Amino acid sequence: MAADKDIEKQVEELLAKMMLSEKIGQMVQINGFKGKIPDELRQKLREGKIGSMLNEIVPETSLELQRITREESRLGIPLIMGRDVIHGYRTIFPIPLAQAATWEPSLAQAAARVAAKEAAHAGFHWTFAPMMDITHDPRWGRIAEGFGEDSYLGSLFAAAMVRGFQGDNLSSPDTIAACAKHYVGYGAAEGGRDYNTAYIPENLLHDVYLPPFKAALEAGVASVMSAFNEINGVPATGNVHTIREILKERWKFDGFVVSDWNSTAEMISHGYCEDMKDVAKKSITAGIDMEMQSTAYSDYLEELVTQKVVPEELIDDAVKRILRIKFKLGLFEKPSVYSAKLPEKPDEESLALAKEIATKSIVLLKNENKLLPLLKELKSIAVIGPMADDPYEVLGTWNRDGKIEDTVTPLAAVRDMVGDNTEINYIAGLPYSRSKDTSEFAKAIKLAKKSEVVLFFAGEESILSGEAHSRAFLNLPGAQDVLITEIAKTGTPIVLIVLAGRPLCIGDIIEKVDAILYAWHPGTMCGPAIADLIFGIESPSGKLPVTFPKTEGQIPIYYNHKNSGRPPEGKSLTMIDDIPLRAYQSSLGDTSRYLDIGFEPLYPFGYGLSYTQFEYSNLRLAEDKIKVSDAIKVFVDVTNTGDMEADEVVQLYIRDLVASLTRPVKELKGFKRIRLKPNETRKINFELSASNLGFHTNEGNYIVEAGKFNLWVGGDSNAGLMTQFEIVE
C-alpha cells in the first residue's frame, strides 16, 4: 500500500499526542452488543480504550458508537467497524470455492465490489475477507471459504477480491478495508480437522501457502488476520518468523495484523504461553497489532511496557499501522462516511451479477447420452430432493446478512422456466440433507415414475461446511443416496444437482444418474443459474478448483503432487477383488497406488464438461530454449466442434522435470476463459516468464534453475496437448 505523505504526517502527529493507555486502546477489538451500548462500553469509548468493534449489526448504534468515540473521548480517534462479509453482504454470491470454479477472477472482484457497497451502507468499514487458505483436504469444512488447492489460481482470486473490496480509493463511501486471512497455513491442518496442527516445511510454506498472501499484499490489502493453527510447533498468532520476519520485514507490509477471534489467548491451550500476560508479550513480539475479542492487550500490555518487558516501540509500530488504515479510510474526516442505511433489498444489477457468477461456477461432471439440456416442451418434470426448495441452505456458510426472502430456489426457477404445459411434480423426499426419514420415499418414487425426467437436488446443509465443521465421511449426508437409488430403479432419467460446500465422494451414485451438475452453494440466485443450465439457455462452463477424491481414503489428493520413485502406471484398477489367492508378494506391481481404489481421483482439478466439445490443436512455442530473463511464448488453436456457443477455460500447465528439489508433476501457470461459437477456431496465446517457473529452497529463497520442462495446454489438468522447452544458462 503506497505510503501517503500527508497521512504519514498525520499518523506521526497523532501518535505523539497519545498516552500509552490510548495507544493500547487502539489495539483492542471487541464484539458488538447487537444494538445495545452498555454503560461500561460507553465509558471505555470515552477513555479511548477501544479501537475497533466487530459485528455491530444495528447501523444507528454503529453511528452512535462512532459519535461517542469522536466527540466524548480526548483525542476522538474513530472506531473501525468490522464484519465477516465473505461472499456478499445482502446479495449473497456463490461461496468462494464456487467463485474459484469460474476461473474468472474479475467476477470475484465485481462481487466484492457489490459486497463492499452494501456493507459500507450498513456502517461497516472493514471485512474479514478474502480467505485465501490453500488446502488439499476436502474434509476441512473451511475449504468452502477459500479458492481450492492451487496457489496460482488462489493468488489471482485473492488479489481480485482485495481490489473489489478496497476499490481505487479506501476513503470513498462505498469501499471497505479487506483482510487477508488466515495467515498462515491454516488449510494444512492435519487430517482436515479444523484448528489442528500444521507441519509445513519452509519451501512448501513459500511455494504453496504464502503466495496468495503475497498477491493480496501486492493488491494493497489493508489488513491481515493471523490463524488459529500452529506451524511446526509455533502458533501462527505468535509466530515471529511468519509475521514479523516475512510479512512485515521481508514483504514490507504496512497495514495491520489482527488476531483471529481469541487466537491470542488460545496460545495457552496450544502450550505455547503460560498465562495471559505471556500471551500479550508473545503476541506483540510476533507482530499482532490488534487483538480480536480476548483481553490480553487491554489487561497486560501497559504493565509489560511499564516494566520494560515490551519496548514501547512495538506498541508505536502497531498503533501507526492501525491509524494509517483509519486515515486511509477517511474515518477522521467523515466518520459517518458510511451512511449506515441498510439496502432495502439487493438491486437488479447485483442479482444479475450473482446469477452470472453462479452460472459460470457450476460444473458439469456427467451428461450421459446428452440428456442435458432439457427441452422446455417436456410434458412432466419431477423435482425432488431436500435442496430443491430451501432458500436458506443454498446461501452457504458464512452467510451473515443475506435474507432468505431474496433467494430464488431451484424449484421456483424451474417453474418460471417451463411453460404451463409442463407438469412440475415436486416433493422434497427428505426434509433436510441429513434426514433419514424415508416416509416420503414412496410418493417420490411415484412422482418419478409418472415424469419424463427427474431433477434431483441433493447436497449438504450449509452448517455441514465452514468453520469447525470438518467431516470424516464425505458421502451425501442422510438417506439421499438411498432415495436416488430407489428413484433410479424407476428408469426415469435423473439429473443430479449437488449443492454442497466441498467436494463430496459421490462415486457410488454416479452410475445411477444420467447427468450431474455440481453447483456448490450458489447463493441468492441459485435457482435461475441452475435453470438456465438445465434448459440450455447457457452451457455449463465451470472447472473444478479442487480435486474430487473417490473416497476419503485417498485424501490428501491433489493434482500438483510429486511423482515419487514409483509412480502409479497406466490406469489403476480397483483390483483388490481380482487378486489371485496366495498371489506372489510382488506380482501385483510395486507402484504407489491403493489396491482397493487405485490412484486416480473421481474428477481431476480443472475438470468440467460443456454442452459442446472443444478441440485443441497446433500447440507451438515461439522458441523452445530460453534464458531465465526471457519468456516462453505459447500458441494453441481451440475449436468449438459442437453445435452450441459456449465458454471454455483453456489451462496451461508445466512440469520442471529435474531440479535440486523435486517438483510437482504438474503446475498451473496460466488460464484463459474464452467464448467460441460453433465451428469457431481461435488462436490462444500465453506468455510465460521463466522467472515464474522457479521454486523456493528450504531456506525460503526463490530460485529458477536451468533444465527441461514439459508444457501442456488443455481443458483440465489431465487432458491436453504437450510439448517441451528448456531454460538454459
Instruction: Summarize as ranges the residues that interact with ligand GLC (CB under 6 A).
Output: 84, 128, 181, 260-261, 467
Residue bearing cell 483482510: 179
Q: How far apart are CA 416 and CA 164, in angstroms?
A: 32
Smaller CB separation from ligand GLC, 84 or 356: 84
Of the pair 151, 229, the CB lying nearest ligand GLC is at 229
507 touches 489 (CB < 8 A) = no
Contact between 394 and 355 under an 8 Å Cβ cutoff? The reply is no
**Smallest distance from ligand GLC to CB 227, Å:** 8
CA 657 and chain centroid, separation: 30
The three-state secondary structure class of 724 is: strand
Q: How far is Cα 234 from Cα 381, in angstroms, rounded to an integer?
A: 56
Contact 672, 693 (CB under 8 A): no
Residue 133 near residue 146, CB atoms below 8 Å: yes
| Residue closer to ligand GLC, measured from CB, 260 or 401 | 260
* Beta bridge pairs of residue 651: 671, 714
Least CB distance to ligand GLC at residue 145 (A):
8
Neighbours of 683 (CB within 10 A): 9
Per-residue CA distances from 28 to 210, 421, 552 (Å): 27, 62, 42
- Extract the C-alpha cell encoding 638: 481451440
CA dist 41 and 296 (Å) reads: 17
Q: Which amino acid is at 205?
A: L
CB of 644 to ligand GLC, least distance (A): 41
- Rg, C-alpha atoms of the chain: 27
CB of 146 to ligand GLC, least distance (A): 11
Question: Is residue 286 within a helix (H) or strand (E), and if so which, with residue range?
Answer: helix 276-286
CB atoms within 10 A of CB 278: 17
Which residue's CB is nearer to ligand GLC, number 260 or number 390? 260
- Residues 183 and 286: their CA atoms lie apart, in Å, by 12
Q: Quick one: 131 or 365, whose CB is closer to ligand GLC?
A: 131
Choose between 131 and 505: whose C-beta lies nearer to ligand GLC.
Answer: 131
Q: Min. distance of Cβ 466 from ligand GLC in angstroms?
A: 9
CB 292 within 8 A of CB 322: no
* Marked catalytic residue, from 137, 260, 401, 716: 260
For cell 444507528, what's the residue?
60
β-sheet bridge partners, residue 686: 634
Select the residue whose beta carbon is closest to ligand GLC and give its number. 128
Our answer to whether residue 647 is catalytic in this structure is no
Nearest 10 degrees: Cα torsion 673, 676, 680, 681: 0
- CA angle centred on 166, ends 160 and 170, rounded to 5°: 155
Strands (E), 520-662: 614-621, 625-627, 631-640, 646-656
Least separation in angstroms between CB 128 and ligand GLC? 3
Nearer to ligand GLC, 389 or 467 (CB): 467
From start to end of 1-58, where are the E strands? Answer: 28-31, 52-54
Q: Cβ closer to ligand GLC: 292 or 315? A: 292
Q: CB-wise, 33 or 594, nearer to ligand GLC?
A: 33
Q: How far is the CB of 132 from ligand GLC (least distance, A)?
A: 11
166 or 640: CB nearest ligand GLC: 166
Nearer to ligand GLC by C-beta: 261 or 272?
A: 261
What's the closest the beta carbon of residue 75 comes to ligand GLC, in angstroms? 27
Dihedral sign of CA atoms 483, 137, 83, 268 in order: positive
Pick from 261, 292, 297, 293: nearest CA to 279:
297
Shortest distance (Å) from residue 183 CB to ligand GLC: 11
- Cβ contacts of residue 435 below 8 Å, gap of 6+? 386, 478, 479
**How far apart are alpha carbons 513 and 497 in whole angstroms?**
10
Choose between 133 and 461: whose C-beta lies nearer to ligand GLC.
133
204: number of Cβ within 10 Å: 17
Please give the C-alpha separations between residue 512 and each of 121, 434, 494, 496, 518, in angstroms, as whole numbers: 48, 20, 8, 10, 16
Q: How many helices (H) and strands (E) does the chain have?
A: 21, 26
Q: Please, what is the minimum distance in Å from the beta carbon of residue 83 to ligand GLC? A: 8
Which residues, 6 or more positions from 93, have their beta carbon under 8 angstroms from its beta carbon?
A: 87, 99, 111, 114, 115, 353, 354, 357, 358, 523, 524
Least Å distance, CB 672 to ligand GLC, is 32
**Shortest distance, position 144 Cβ to ligand GLC, whole Å:** 12
Q: Which three cell numbers stand for residue 677?
A: 461459437
| Whether 396 contacts 501, CB under 8 Å | yes
So which residues are the catalytic ones?
260
